[in-house]
Amino acid sequence: MTDTTTPRAGRVNAIGLAQTDYKGLPSTLCQGCGHNSIANQIVQVAYELNVRPAEMLKLSGIGCSSKSPAYFLGQSFGFNGLHGRMPSLATGALMGNHTMRAIAVSGDGDSASIGLGQFKHVLRRNVRMVYIVENNGVYGLTKGQFSATADEGQELKYAGTNEFPPIDICMEAILAGCGFVARSFSGDAQQVRELMKAALSHGGTAVLDIISPCVAFNNADTSTKSYHYGKEHEIPLHGIGFVPSEEEIEIEAYDPGELRVVEMHDGSWVKLRKLEADYDPTDRMGAMHRLQWAQENQELITGLVYYDGSRPSLAESSRLGDTPLNALDESRVRPGREALAGLMDGLM
Ligand SMILES: Cc1ncc(C[n+]2csc(CCOP(=O)(O)OP(=O)(O)O)c2C)c(N)n1
Ligand code: SF4
Ligand SMILES: [Mg+2]
């Protein structure tokens, strides 16, 4: 694997890479699938943020969504894990080298059905990574069974009627202690990009629950996971803009909404122009209440739903220090007979 950082002619970013350098293989997903649009936004965001491909890890489980890391960051490290088990994989990989940045892609089946336990525990531990759930309400890869995020009472041609209440990814994330919880819609490319940039700057796990329509199995106009529904019903909580750390923040007077500026872990900023007058993304109970209201009323609220940058990441709470575990030399990995004897004495 190579990191193509040699300056090239044509339009390149600050580290000399063209946007095409951040692409992967051509997509094999259905044409019009929301997951394709999200993969394209990752390509653009990585280009704009001058991401070094060799410093990026991409991870996934199983599903159409989980296939998509093949379609972006073709020069980065990647691992396509077992169904619902990506969080364990991510935890291990990022303990081995906590200086890597990571983008994980999962599906609603992968994270809210078979992988729900893993999802909750990776959030408790606050492993630093961007965790994208490409949420279409069905198991697309296995031909359209209801997933755990499907609406109660929803009818699908082949799957019948869904009798069970939905699991809300954002609510579960907030409950599990996640400090960056956002929802978006794959049809709103600009918002997806701004949230991804902010998520990459967060110091712990950042969850992006992106409604991503499955055009093959769940795109009827009545479905809350369809393009039509998303376009008609999206309610942004705020207008969102991301300012990288190297750019100076300008506090503009927005009209009519008030502007709220949130500083991220790496010194960059997220500017939130309030659209809902009383919405405060730092109010945990307020966020839960707003999500509950949205679920009851089938509203697609989007934006940064909850933010709290104060919790330490797993690498910080484990006091991993500056050198990644996989780069420690033998003298530090094997402390020797004397240190071991001291350790044993301490256990007596
Ligand atoms: C242990 C295990 N159980 C079941 C399956 C079958 N399976 C493959 S993908 C999938 C669901 C994927 O749904 P989702 O995560 O929502 O992804 P989508 O295809 O909708 O993007 C299932 C049940 C599997 N691969 N492994
Ligand atoms: S089956 Fe659905 S989720 Fe899978 S690629 Fe096709 S549209 Fe996308
Ligand atoms: Mg799905």
In-domain check, residue 221:
yes
Return the residue matching tokens 């609603």.
Answer: 108
Structural domain total, the chain = 1
* Bridge partners for 234 per DSSP: 300
> How many CA atoms does the CB half-sphere of 148 hold within 13 Å?
15
**Residue 118 CA to ligand 1 centre (angstroms):** 15
Interhelix angle 189-201/34-48, nearest 10 degrees:
50
Q: How far apart are CA 274 and CA 262, in angstroms?
A: 13
DSSP 3-state of 195: helix
- Taking CA atoms only, the protein residue closest to ligand 2 atom 6 is 30
CA angle 45, 99, 180 (to 5 degrees): 55
In-domain check, residue 34:
yes
pLDDT of residue 19: 97
Q: How far apart are CA 152 and CA 102, in angstroms?
A: 34
In-domain check, residue 284:
yes
In-domain check, residue 8:
no
Q: How far apart are CA 14 and CA 254, in angstroms?
A: 30
In-domain check, residue 334:
yes
Give me the tens of pLDDT residue by residue for the chain, a chain 348 residues long.
Answer: 445 555 555 799 999 999 999 999 999 999 999 999 999 999 999 999 999 999 999 999 999 999 999 999 999 999 999 999 999 999 999 999 999 999 999 999 999 999 999 999 999 999 999 999 999 999 999 999 999 999 999 999 889 999 999 999 999 999 999 999 999 999 999 999 999 999 999 999 999 999 999 999 999 998 999 999 999 999 999 999 999 988 877 766 555 668 889 999 999 999 998 888 889 999 999 999 999 999 999 999 999 999 999 999 999 999 999 999 999 998 888 888 998 999 999 998
Per-residue buried b or exposed e for 118-151, using 16+ beta carbons within 10 Å of the residue's own CB: bbbebbebbbbbbbbbbbbbbbbbeebbbbbbbb
pLDDT of residue 256: 60
Could you count the other beta carbons within 10 Å of the beta carbon of residue 281? 24
Q: Which atom of ligand 2 has the smallest separation from the CA of 217?
A: 2
Q: How far apart are CA 45 and CA 69, in angstroms?
A: 14
* Bridge partners for 240 per DSSP: 272
- Output the six-digit token pair for 187: 């049809």
**Residue 98 CA to ligand 3 centre (angstroms):** 29
Q: How far apart are CA 214 and CA 137, in angstroms?
A: 8
Phi and psi for 294 in degrees, rounded to 5? Answer: -65, -40
**Residue 90 CA to ligand 2 centre (angstroms):** 25
| Residue 32 belongs to domain with CATH number | 3.40.50.970
* Ligand nearest, relative to CA of residue 142: 1
Q: How far apart are CA 30 and CA 65, in angstroms?
A: 11
Tell whether ligand 2 has an atom less than 6 A from the beta carbon of residue 217. Answer: yes
Ligand 1 binding pocket, CB closer than 6 Å: 62-65, 83, 107-110, 114, 134, 136, 138-142, 147, 214
Domain carrying residue 203:
19-347
In-domain check, residue 262:
yes
* DSSP label of 165: P
pLDDT of residue 53: 98
Instruction: Kindly list the protein residues that place their beta carbon closer than 5 angstroms to ligand 3, a single-atom ion.
Output: 107-109, 136
* Ligand nearest, relative to CA of residue 137: 3
- Give yes or no for a contact between 255 and 218, defined as CB atoms under 8 angstroms apart: no
Tell whether ligand 2 has an atom less than 6 A from the beta carbon of residue 214. Answer: yes
In-domain check, residue 9:
no
pLDDT of residue 1: 47
Tell whether ligand 2 has an atom less than 6 A from the beta carbon of residue 132. Answer: no
Q: State the pTM of this model.
A: 0.94
In-domain check, residue 10:
no
- Output the six-digit token pair for 335: 């402390």
Interhelix angle 86-96/116-125, nearest 10 degrees:
30
Q: What is the CA radius of gyration of the chain?
A: 21
Q: Can you point out the beta strands (E) in 74-120? A: 77-80, 101-107
pLDDT of residue 258: 80
- Give yes or no for a contact between 130 and 208, defined as CB atoms under 8 angstroms apart: yes
**Residue 34 CA to ligand 2 centre (angstroms):** 8
**With DSSP H G I counted as helix, E B as strand and the rest as coil, what are the percentages for the chain, rounded to 5?**
35, 20, 45
**Residue 64 CA to ligand 2 centre (angstroms):** 6
Q: How far are the Cα atoms of 95, 97, 129, 287, 336 from residue 327, in angstroms, in the given order?
A: 12, 8, 20, 41, 18
- Give yes or no for a contact between 162 and 154, defined as CB atoms under 8 angstroms apart: yes
